[in-house]
């Protein structure tokens, strides 16, 4: 049976490798259950990455950039401030 699911470590590694080639990404932080040390995420937890970019518009209006990290089932992009 072919394994198609990536681990969070693999996804994070792919994201980091891609993000390092993007001049408009200034920082990225893993948050949520995957970031907890005292109560680690379980097998059903998602991977939440907050990115800090120069221009958020391309990241909020399209999910095409996510294809650089692998296949995904569900995405949620959400601006956290009204500052542009």
Q: Which domain holds residue 15?
A: 8-68
The secondary structure of 7-60, three-state, reads CHHHHHHHHHHHHCCCCCEEEEEEEHHHHCCCCCCCCCCCCEEEEEECCCHHHH
What is the full per-residue pLDDT of the chain (84 aa) written as tens digits? 344 567 888 888 999 999 999 999 999 998 877 777 777 667 667 788 889 999 988 888 888 888 888 777 777 777 666 555
Q: How many domains does the chain have?
A: 1
- For residue 83, is it within any domain? no
- For residue 1, is it within any domain? no
- For residue 84, is it within any domain? no
């Amino acid at each position: 049976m072919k394994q198609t699911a990536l681990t969070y470590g693999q996804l994070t590694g792919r994201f980091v490798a891609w993000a390092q080639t993007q001049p408009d990404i200034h920082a990225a932080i893993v948050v949520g259950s995957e970031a907890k040390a005292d109560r680690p995420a379980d097998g059903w937890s998602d991977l939440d990455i907050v990115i800090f970019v120069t221009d958020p518009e391309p990241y909020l209006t399209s999910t095409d950039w996510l294809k650089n990290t692998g296949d995904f089932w569900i995405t949620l992009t959400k601006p956290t401030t009204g500052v542009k």
